[in-house]
Structure 1
Amino acid sequence: MAQEQEPQKNPTNAQSAAPEEPVRVNHTARNIIIALVVVVLVVAGVLVGVHVKNSGKNAAKGTKDNPVVIGVIGATDKQWPVLQQKAEEQGIYVTIQDFQDYAAVDKALAAGQIDLNEIQHILYLANFNEKNNTDLQPIGGTAVYPLGLYSSKYKSVDDIQAGDTIAIPNDETNQARAIGVLKSAGLITLKDDWTAFSTPADIDTDKSKVKVTTLDGNKIAHSLSDSQIAAGVINNDYVEDAGLKPTDALYQDSADTEEAHPYINIWAARKEDANNELYLKIAKLSADPDVENALQEQSGGSASLADNYTPEQLQQILADLQKQIESQE
Structure 2
Amino acid sequence: MAGLMESVDQRTQLVGANRLELLLFRMEGPQIYGINVFKVKEVLQCPKLTVLPHSHPVVRGVAHLRVGTLPIMDLSMATGGPKVGDLSNAFVIITEYNLKTQGFLVGGVERIVNMNWGDIHPPPKGTGREHYLTAVTQVEGKLVEIIDVEKVLAEVSPMNETMSENVVSKQVAEDAKALHVLIVDDSKIARKQVTRCLEEIGVEVTALNDGLEAWNHLQELTESGVRVQDKYLMLISDIEMPEMDGYTLTTNVRNDSRISDFHIVLHTSLSGVFNKAMVEKVGADGFISKFNPDILGDVVVKRIEEFTKSR
Q: Same fold (TM over 0.5)?
A: no
**TM-score, normalisation: structure 2:** 0.30
If you compute each CA radius of gyration, which structure gives the higher value, 1 or 2? 1
**TM-score, normalisation: structure 1:** 0.29
- In terms of fraction of residues, the more helix-rich structure is 1
